[in-house]
Chains A and B, each alone.
Chain A
Amino acid sequence: MREFVETILAPRLQGDGGWVEWDSLNGNTLTLVFRGECSKCLILDRCVHWMEEELEKKFGQHIVIQPVRKKPFFWDT
């Protein structure tokens, strides 16, 4: 699953200036760190939902993504 996130999903987000990094998987809760444009995206929840759908399609398992936004200092206001 980590490979899928890092090699399939992450490049998609990068294409829009975003960035996602694997943090941890506990049970069906996947913690992902969102950086770059994702860190301040006003509608990140939509993207997270899409990622959950992609994971379910790939692994047949409902994964709940817990997004952690990591803003750079210049957006951290």
Chain B
Amino acid sequence: MAHVKVVRRSTRPEEWTDLRFSWLERGIVRDREEITDLHIRDARQISENGYDDAPEGERPLVKGDMYFTPDGTVFIRGHATIPPRMHGENVYFSLKTAAEMIVKINGVYVGGVDPNRERFLLNPYIQGDELNIEIEAYNRSKPDDERNPASLSKRGCRQIFEGAYLETIRDNVQSLVYDYILFMDIAHCEYFNEDYRKFLFRELSRALDYVDFETWEGIDEAAAYVDRVIYRNTDFKGSGDVALVGHSHLDIAYYWRRIHAVQKNARTILIQLRLMDRYPEFRYTHTQAYTYETLEKYYPALFEELKEKYAAGQFEPVGAMYVEPDCNIPCAESLVRQFLYGQHFFRRAFGKTLDNAWLPDVFGNSWIMPQILKKSGVDYFVSNKMSTWNDTNRFPHNNFIWRGIDGSEVYACVPPTHFITWNMPSQIQENWEAYQDKETGGQTLSMYGYGDGGSGATEEMLEMIRRFPRVSVMPKTEVTGGADFLHKNLKDNPNLAVWDGELYLEMHRGTFTTKSEIKRMNRYLEGLLRLTEMVSVSRMLQGEAEYPAEEIRDVYKKLLLNQFHDILPGSHIHPVYLDAMADYRDIEARLKALLGDSRVYWNPQNFAFRGVRFVPDESGAFVRHGEKGAFQVTEAAPFDRVCFANGADDTAWFQMETKDGQTFVRTPRLSLQMNAQGAIDHLFMNGDEQDFVKTGRALNQLHLYADHPGVYDAWDILPNYRDVEEKLTLKEALHLTHVDGNCAEFESVFVTDKSEIRMYTRVFREDEAVETEYACKWHEKHRLLKVNFAPNILTRTLRCDTSAGYIDRELTKNTTWQEARFECCHHKWMDMSECGRGLAIINEGKYGVGLEGEEISLSLLRSTIRPDIESDMGEHDFCYQIVPHREDALKAGINARAIMFNTVLSPAPVALPAPLHRMLSQTSLVLQALKLSEDGKRVIVRLSEQNGSRGILKTEEKVEVLNLLEDRQDIQDTIPYHPFEILTLGIPLAQA
């Protein structure tokens, strides 16, 4: 029999129910009084709480008016009188908008409206009938991942004012609407039992038969039917145990500048506070000490209310960190400071040290984190993206133990679903279905609340919660707080699996590279801050100057702010980039003002060095990073004055020959053969017959790839990025530009139709490193510039610096896990070694590394157009060094070399007390930080074991052993340490 496709053209019963459900909402408002006395003025925000007013001043605001301008803020004021007919009723303020508004009436913050809510209750916050209204409103465009599709059609810079109202509502209609939202969601969700869904459609339709949609009679009968027939039905059973935690993710900057986050945060908190008033069971978690700081500064009344709700157990600070930073690129000390300044804020404001890190949206988490968490008083870690964003492998755990690089363990939760949900039964059921630790992990965590730009929970979400226990097919749900969930389910749970390694996110791999300049400045300023603190301690101990604690703290916080996970990774609009660069310039200027200037330099490291460095000099023949100067052999003992050995003009150390387009170079350390492009076809350390370059391949081979990751343009590099290679034309073949007594420099120039890349390759008389500098005029679109290295080294691992130890990354592609890690994050160096020899690449601001089987690549530049059309356009200048070496990276001192490559020499003496000087210069531990303690009573010495060795640190006098929050843990003169441990010592000022 032939198949006959039935095309139904009549309304199906389910559609009839859907339709009538949509009508129900029309009956919610019983009475409304339009507020007509409204005036508006336009402004543009120019700082955290500063505005440029439009010259036109104030004008009346009437329903139907166009309001808001691009990047605009509006201030609305007005007056209304509650009409006598509403006396004795619950009166609501109602304003439907796609914008974000904070509403004050009679001087009291009464509520907020935005695309996710349009109405709030007035009665508890006002007295009398006369209402003086003040509204500050922001209309920020939002990205595609808006979770409220209904508001999308109204998104845009200009809005039509739909009127503001005083309203009374029909509570019974509103309640029935919530019932239907709940059950219709279940009825449409395939995660639930099919028979139950069929039952729901039938009974929900029958209940609506009671309702007259003109007069709104029959509502109570319908509600009674729903209660009797649906709520009380127990024929169908669900399973599961889901903890519901209210949360609102707030990007400090993203599709908005960080100055706008101040109001987004205030609006979010205001709305949550008002919900807490109405729903005593509601508990809400909020992260980032910075957001609390801005609330305290600009909205002190709200901050006081927040503290009251905290005391009542409803408002819960979580997260412990200053902001939610990127957790790949910041160095260890930056992550330490995120906790130090975050926790110290929470201690001051709430008298509490938070025991959890709450990073739902970060793009993977470095292996160095568990130790930093643990030593910052944080035993629990929450981060969502690995479960829901991984593009290749399913992360195998949700509730588990995370073991870090040094063996430290913290309890970890990677919730099964998104951190932004609107608390629908389908989302809760999906969470339970996806939960992988059902038998070992206790409850699963489901966060609810709108986010990205703040917003948080809604009345609807909380009404759902009150109904869930009455729905037999739902998992068991518990309203709880973030810390309570973690304590209840993870603490001392003996059944949790252990994940030992980084929490690599199989997505957003482009964020190690996008916005090259931000990465470069971040690395540079991390070093400059370290130097400034060290010099300031020295001056303080020598009695030369007071330690500039406030200034340093302020500058540090500014750097930390710009490590936010949509700033440092590069996933933001253009104005955010401009803000970050302005902040970096400010930070640099302030630090340099503290440091002072000098033509004499000191070694700020606790190890001796000898090597070639570039020394700026107006008469120099070389140009590096746009500055004239010369390369000189430099050396210094720890903290000692740096000696510069001016090289003779004698160039006999350098031998060069060209033949058939090949350039043969011999130095006292190396022999190398470069092709016309400047790629190195052969590289030998003198005295060694083994070529460091794989036969037929090269080191320093530039590649320009088509780079089309799609909507997540700034975020992603796709696994097939090598499929299409774009033409890079050699405009000027390799040629010698200059040679002196220390350095010989070659240049080759590449062009595309839009860009120019000048590549400088340098070899040195007294160094085996080959330095490459790129001066780029970069104007590409959807292109990725990489440089490849094909070392003649048999190894299956690439050793990568993490800034506090190394991680060995697998180069093989045997498993999907290895395949997925084709682009990873590293810090100052990476190295491939075999027995007796190896090759390292050390950089000064690059993080992305490609693992391409037998080759590795350093990601240099991208050219994405979303969110920033102009991302990375313009001039760039960056260096790295190729360092062939004998022995392995550890014995070859690659880490120390990479640290020095990134070190700004001190323009001021680093004079330390003799015992401290001796202790620091005799240990193999790296001096990560030297600062004054936050309480101003001791010198903090932070040391980092970075070689993977175990040992004992001996001090001449007993010192305090501290945690990262500078709390005393012990007093010792013999301090054992283990591989990759970070030690913090406190030396009381009297003793120092």
A residues bordering B, Cβ < 8 Å?
Answer: 9, 11-19, 35-37, 41-44, 46-47, 49-50, 72-75
Q: Is A17 touching B70 in the complex (CB atoms < 8 A)?
A: no
A35-B869, A47-B70, A74-B713 as given contacts; A15 in contact with B156, CB under 8 Å: no
A14-B575, A15-B257, A72-B713 as given contacts; A46 in contact with B66, CB under 8 Å: yes
Q: How many A-B residue pairs have CB under 8 A?
A: 85
A14-B71, A16-B71, A17-B141 as given contacts; A42 in contact with B713, CB under 8 Å: no
Q: Is B158 touching A47 in the complex (CB atoms < 8 A)?
A: yes
24 contacts between A and B (CB under 8 A): A11-B71, A12-B157, A13-B70, A13-B71, A13-B157, A14-B71, A15-B71, A16-B157, A17-B867, A18-B70, A19-B574, A19-B869, A36-B573, A36-B867, A41-B155, A41-B156, A42-B152, A43-B155, A43-B156, A46-B158, A50-B66, A72-B713, A73-B708, A74-B710
A13-B70, A14-B574 as given contacts; A47 in contact with B713, CB under 8 Å: no
Q: Is A74 touching B711 in the complex (CB atoms < 8 A)?
A: yes
Q: Is A72 touching B866 in the complex (CB atoms < 8 A)?
A: yes
User: In whole Å, how far is B575's beta carbon from the nearest beta carbon of chain A?
Assistant: 5
User: In whole Å, how far is A42's beta carbon from the nearest beta carbon of chain B?
Assistant: 6
At the interface, yes or no: B153 with Cβ under 8 Å from chain A?
A: yes
B residues bordering A, Cβ < 8 Å?
Answer: 44, 66, 69-72, 139-141, 143, 152-158, 255-257, 573-575, 708, 710-711, 713, 865-867, 869
Q: Is B158 touching A16 in the complex (CB atoms < 8 A)?
A: no
Q: Is A15 touching B708 in the complex (CB atoms < 8 A)?
A: no
| Chain B residues within an 8 Å CB radius of A12 | 44, 69-72, 157
| Chain A residues within an 8 Å CB radius of B711 | 74-75
Q: Is A42 touching B156 in the complex (CB atoms < 8 A)?
A: yes
| Chain A residues within an 8 Å CB radius of B153 | 42
Q: Which of B711, B713, B865 has the most CB of A within 10 A?
A: B865
User: Which 4 pairs across A and B sit closest by C-beta, in order of nearness?
Assistant: A15-B71, A46-B158, A43-B156, A12-B70
| Chain B residues within an 8 Å CB radius of A18 | 70, 141, 157
| Chain B residues within an 8 Å CB radius of A9 | 70
| Chain A residues within an 8 Å CB radius of B867 | 17, 36
A44 CA to B573 CA, complexed, in Å: 18
Give A20's nearest chain B residue, CB to CB: B70
Q: Is B575 touching A15 in the complex (CB atoms < 8 A)?
A: yes
Q: Is A16 touching B141 in the complex (CB atoms < 8 A)?
A: yes
User: In whole Å, how far is B557's beta carbon from the nearest beta carbon of chain A?
Assistant: 24
| Chain A residues within an 8 Å CB radius of B256 | 15
A74 CA to B865 CA, complexed, in Å: 11
Give B154's nearest chain A residue, CB to CB: A43
Q: Which of B143, B152, B157, B256 has the most CB of A within 10 A?
A: B157
| Chain A residues within an 8 Å CB radius of B157 | 12-13, 16, 18, 41, 46-47, 50
A14 CA to B255 CA, complexed, in Å: 9
Set A36, A37, A43: member contacting B158, Cβ < 8 A: A43
SS class of chain A's interface: helix, strand, loop or mixed? helix
User: In whole Å, how far is B795's beta carbon from the nearest beta carbon of chain A?
Assistant: 38
User: In whole Å, how far is A46's beta carbon from the nearest beta carbon of chain B?
Assistant: 4
Q: Is A16 touching B70 in the complex (CB atoms < 8 A)?
A: yes
User: In whole Å, how far is A57's beta carbon from the nearest beta carbon of chain B?
Assistant: 9
A46 CA to B158 CA, complexed, in Å: 6
User: In whole Å, how far is B100's beta carbon from the nearest beta carbon of chain A?
Assistant: 13
User: In whole Å, how far is B709's beta carbon from the nearest beta carbon of chain A?
Assistant: 9
Q: Is B158 touching A50 in the complex (CB atoms < 8 A)?
A: yes
| Chain B residues within an 8 Å CB radius of A19 | 574, 869
| Chain B residues within an 8 Å CB radius of A44 | 156
A12 CA to B573 CA, complexed, in Å: 12
| Chain B residues within an 8 Å CB radius of A13 | 70-71, 157
| Chain B residues within an 8 Å CB radius of A17 | 141, 143, 255, 573, 867
A36 CA to B154 CA, complexed, in Å: 17
A13 CA to B141 CA, complexed, in Å: 10
A60 CA to B66 CA, complexed, in Å: 22
A47 CA to B71 CA, complexed, in Å: 11
Set A16, A36, A50: member contacting B866, Cβ < 8 A: A36
User: In whole Å, how far is B423's beta carbon from the nearest beta carbon of chain A?
Assistant: 28
A73 CA to B152 CA, complexed, in Å: 21
Give A75's nearest chain B residue, CB to CB: B711
A44 CA to B70 CA, complexed, in Å: 11
| Chain A residues within an 8 Å CB radius of B70 | 9, 12-13, 15-16, 18, 47, 50
Known contacts A42-B155, A47-B158, A50-B69; can you find 10 more A-B pairs with CB under 8 A? A13-B71, A17-B143, A36-B573, A42-B153, A43-B154, A43-B158, A47-B157, A49-B66, A72-B713, A75-B711
A44 CA to B867 CA, complexed, in Å: 18
Give A44's nearest chain B residue, CB to CB: B156
Q: Is B575 touching A11 in the complex (CB atoms < 8 A)?
A: yes
Q: Is A14 touching B573 in the complex (CB atoms < 8 A)?
A: yes
A46 CA to B68 CA, complexed, in Å: 10
| Chain A residues within an 8 Å CB radius of B44 | 12
A49 CA to B867 CA, complexed, in Å: 24
Give A35's nearest chain B residue, CB to CB: B869
A37 CA to B152 CA, complexed, in Å: 12
A14 CA to B29 CA, complexed, in Å: 39
User: In whole Å, how far is B229's beta carbon from the nearest beta carbon of chain A?
Assistant: 42
User: In whole Å, how far is B986's beta carbon from the nearest beta carbon of chain A?
Assistant: 46
User: In whole Å, how far is B85's beta carbon from the nearest beta carbon of chain A?
Assistant: 37
User: In whole Å, how far is B712's beta carbon from the nearest beta carbon of chain A?
Assistant: 9
Q: Which of A16, A36, A73 has the most CB of B within 10 A?
A: A16
A50 CA to B711 CA, complexed, in Å: 29
A66 CA to B478 CA, complexed, in Å: 56
User: In whole Å, how far is A18's beta carbon from the nearest beta carbon of chain B?
Assistant: 7
User: In whole Å, how far is B390's beta carbon from the nearest beta carbon of chain A?
Assistant: 21
A55 CA to B257 CA, complexed, in Å: 26
A9 CA to B710 CA, complexed, in Å: 28
Q: Is B140 touching A16 in the complex (CB atoms < 8 A)?
A: yes
| Chain A residues within an 8 Å CB radius of B66 | 46, 49-50
A15 CA to B578 CA, complexed, in Å: 11
| Chain A residues within an 8 Å CB radius of B708 | 73
| Chain B residues within an 8 Å CB radius of A36 | 573, 865-867, 869
A9 CA to B44 CA, complexed, in Å: 12
Give B70's nearest chain A residue, CB to CB: A12
| Chain B residues within an 8 Å CB radius of A15 | 70-71, 256-257, 573, 575
Give A9's nearest chain B residue, CB to CB: B70
A37 CA to B713 CA, complexed, in Å: 13
| Chain B residues within an 8 Å CB radius of A49 | 66, 158
A50 CA to B68 CA, complexed, in Å: 10
User: In whole Å, how far is A39's beta carbon from the nearest beta carbon of chain B?
Assistant: 10
Give B781's nearest chain A residue, CB to CB: A72
A72 CA to B573 CA, complexed, in Å: 15
A72 CA to B143 CA, complexed, in Å: 14
Q: Is B710 touching A47 in the complex (CB atoms < 8 A)?
A: no
Q: Which of B140, B152, B713, B869 has the most CB of A within 10 A?
A: B869
| Chain B residues within an 8 Å CB radius of A73 | 708
Q: Is B141 touching A37 in the complex (CB atoms < 8 A)?
A: yes
| Chain A residues within an 8 Å CB radius of B140 | 16
Give A46's nearest chain B residue, CB to CB: B158
Give A19's nearest chain B residue, CB to CB: B869
A9 CA to B70 CA, complexed, in Å: 9
Q: Which of A9, A35, A46 has the most CB of B within 10 A?
A: A46
A74 CA to B781 CA, complexed, in Å: 14
A32 CA to B44 CA, complexed, in Å: 23
User: In whole Å, how far is A36's beta carbon from the nearest beta carbon of chain B?
Assistant: 5
User: In whole Å, how far is A34's beta carbon from the nearest beta carbon of chain B?
Assistant: 11
| Chain A residues within an 8 Å CB radius of B155 | 41-43
User: In whole Å, how far is B52's beta carbon from the nearest beta carbon of chain A?
Assistant: 11
Q: Is A47 touching B575 in the complex (CB atoms < 8 A)?
A: no
User: In whole Å, how far is A9's beta carbon from the nearest beta carbon of chain B?
Assistant: 8
| Chain A residues within an 8 Å CB radius of B154 | 43
| Chain B residues within an 8 Å CB radius of A75 | 711
User: In whole Å, how far is B984's beta carbon from the nearest beta carbon of chain A?
Assistant: 42
| Chain B residues within an 8 Å CB radius of A35 | 865, 869
User: In whole Å, how far is B647's beta carbon from the nearest beta carbon of chain A?
Assistant: 49
| Chain A residues within an 8 Å CB radius of B866 | 36, 72, 74
A14 CA to B72 CA, complexed, in Å: 11
